[in-house]
Amino acid sequence: MLARHHDPIVAIATAPGRGAVGIVRVSGKAIAPLVERLCGKALKPREASYLPFKAADGQAIDQGLALYFPAPHSYTGEDVLELQAHGGPVVLQLLLARCLEAAQAEADSGKPLLPGLRLAEPGEFTERAFLNDKIDLAQAEAIADLIDASTEAAARSASRSLTGAFSQEVHRLRDALVHLRMLVEATLDFPEEEIDFLQKADAYGQLDQLRATVQAVMQRTRQGALLREGIKVVIAGQPNAGKSSLLNALAGAELAIVTPIAGTTRDKVAQTIQIEGVPLHVIDTAGLRESSDEVERIGIARAWEEIAAADAVLFLHDLTRMAEPDYAEADCQIAATLQQQLPATVPVLQVWNKADALTPDEARRQSAESAKQFSTAAAAGPAGEQAPLVLSAKTGDGLDTLRQQLLAMAGWQPAAEGTYIARARHVQALQQVEEHLDIAHAQLHVDSPALDLLAEELRLAQQSLNAITGEFTSDDLLGVIFSSFCIGK
C-alpha cells in the first residue's frame, strides 16, 4: 500500500451546487478524537446525532446530523465520519475547512489531533474500500457505473455487478482453473508418483468445460459493456440526403439545422440516444462530395475522420434522386471508399430516406433497384446481405425498423434478468483468458504434451482473470480507474 493510503482524508461527498443536504466525509485510522472535537461529544457508532457544527470560535456553522462508523464496519474499512448539513456550497466549504483546522489543533499530548489529514483525491474513498477488502475491483467500477448510469437497464445491471454477480462468475472460473493447475503442477512436482492426470482427472473434459464457460461469460460481459459504453454510429451520405433530419427524428429534438440548401451541415453534430436501454452515440456529418468551399472541405474531412473511428456507419441514400445517374454514381463511389477504408468488422447499414415523397410501390422498387448497385460486403458488412431499409425521417415511418437494425448492428440481445454491467477492459481480459486456454488446449492434444508449457498457459489465464477483480492489478491501472471517480466517492 502506498504511503498516501495511510493519510486520513476528507472531502465533500455530494455533488457540486446547491441542494437540500450536503455531506462532508472523513476517513482514516483512529479519528475518534477528531469526531469528539468537531461534534462536542463522543458519538455512538452507527447512530445519527442531531447537533450544531461549530467553528473554532464556538459560533455555529450549521445544524445537522453526524454519523460515526468505527472500523472495520464502514464503507472504506477505516473509521468514517459523515457530517450531513444543509447543501449550500459555502456551508460545506466552511465545514470542510473546519475539519482540516480541527485536525491540526493540539490535543492534550501537545501533538496535532489528527496529523496528516488532507483533501481526498478523486475516487480515494472507494479505492480504500478496495484496498481494505470491502469490495473487489469489479465492484468498485460498478459503483462509478451506477452513478453514471443513464438508463434504467444500465442502473439495474450496475447494481448487480455491485452486489457481486460478475465477480462471482469470475471466482467460479478461477476456482475451476486453479483446480486444473493443481493437477498439472502436481505431476510436475512429483513425477515419481506417476499421476496420470490426463485421464484419471479428466483434464481434457475440465479444460473443455472451462473454455465453454469462458465463452458464455464473455458473451454476457460484452452485453454488459455495450450497456455501459454503447456504440458510435456515424450517419454518412451525400448532401441533402436527410442526415440531419434523421438525427433529429432519432433524438426526438431539433438538434441539427435542416434546410433544402446542400452543404448546410459543416461540422459534426452528436447526440446520444437510447434504444431499449442501450446508448447509441449518433453523429451527423457533413455531406460527402467534392467541394471548392474551404469550410465545407474541412467539414467533409472531419466527416471521414468520424467515419474511420465509428463502430458502425449508417449510409443514407435519397430515394428521390437515385434515378439520377450522377447521384447514383456518387453513392457508389462513397460505398467503394467505405469498403476500402473500414475494417471488415465495422458494419455499414444502407438506408433509403424520403419514402414520403414516393408511393409505397415506387419506394420499394426504387430502393430494390438501387440496392443492386452495391456489393453485399459494402451494403451489410459482416452481417451479410440485407433487405433495403426504407424510411421517412420526415414522417417517422420506418424508424422503429431502423432502431431494431441499429441494435442488431451493436450486437445487442434482449437483456436477460442476470445481465451485469461490464467494461471494455473486462472483455479484453476474458479474451486473453480464452487465448491462453486455446493454447493450452492445443498443447494438451499433442502426442507428448509439454506439461510445463501447459502449466504456464493456465497460470497466465488465471492472472488475466485476477486482473478483473483486482487480485492481480498494477498500481498504474488503479490510478486510471479511480481517477475517473468524482471527489468524495
- CA nearest to 106, candidates 168, 34, 210, 31: 34
Q: Is 264 annotated as a binding residue?
A: yes
Q: Is 110 annotated as a binding residue?
A: no
CB 143 within 8 A of CB 481: no
* Alpha carbon of residue 278 to chain centroid: 12
At a CB cut-off of 8 Å and minimum separation 6, what does 55 contact?
Answer: 61, 94, 98
Q: Is 111 annotated as a binding residue?
A: no
Beta strands in 328-426 (DSSP E): 348-353, 389-390
Residue 237 to residue 301: CA distance in whole angstroms = 13
Pairing of β 118-119 and β 60-69: unpaired
Instruction: Tell me the three cell numbers of residue 221.
Output: 460481459
CB 204 within 8 A of CB 444: yes
User: How many Cβ atoms sit within 10 Å of the Cβ of residue 106?
Assistant: 9
Q: Is 159 annotated as a binding residue?
A: no
Q: Is 161 annotated as a binding residue?
A: no
Q: Is 224 annotated as a binding residue?
A: no
Q: Is 489 annotated as a binding residue?
A: yes
Q: Is 112 annotated as a binding residue?
A: no
Q: Is 240 annotated as a binding residue?
A: yes
Q: Is 286 annotated as a binding residue?
A: yes
Residue 414 to residue 248: CA distance in whole angstroms = 26
Q: Is 312 annotated as a binding residue?
A: no
| Sheet containing 9-12: order of strands | 49-54, 60-69, 79-87, 19-28, 9-12, 118-119
φ and ψ at residue 322, rounded to 5 degrees: -65, -20
Pairing of β 60-69 and β 231-237: unpaired
Q: Is 484 annotated as a binding residue?
A: no
Q: Is 134 annotated as a binding residue?
A: yes
CB 26 within 8 A of CB 81: yes
Q: Is 262 annotated as a binding residue?
A: yes
Q: Is 41 annotated as a binding residue?
A: no
Q: Is 296 annotated as a binding residue?
A: no
Residue 228 to residue 7: CA distance in whole angstroms = 33
Q: Is 44 annotated as a binding residue?
A: no
Residue 246 to residue 397: CA distance in whole angstroms = 11
Q: Is 265 annotated as a binding residue?
A: yes
Sign of dihedral through CA atoms 414, 420, 421, 427?
Answer: negative
DSSP 30: S
Residue 164 to residue 224: CA distance in whole angstroms = 14
Q: Is 354 annotated as a binding residue?
A: yes
**Which residues, in sequence order, are bridge partners of residue 235?**
284, 314
Q: Is 175 annotated as a binding residue?
A: no
Residue 328 to residue 334: CA distance in whole angstroms = 10
Q: Is 82 annotated as a binding residue?
A: yes
Sign of dihedral through CA atoms 406, 410, 411, 412?
Answer: negative
- Annotation: binding site for (6S)-5-formyl-5,6,7,8-tetrahydrofolate: 25, 82, 134, 489
Binding-site positions for K(+) read 240, 259, 261, 264
- Binding-site residue set for Mg(2+): 244, 265
Q: Which residues participate in the annotated binding site for GTP?
A: 240-245, 259-265, 284-287, 353-356
Which residues line the annotated binding site? 25, 82, 134, 240-245, 259-265, 284-287, 353-356, 489
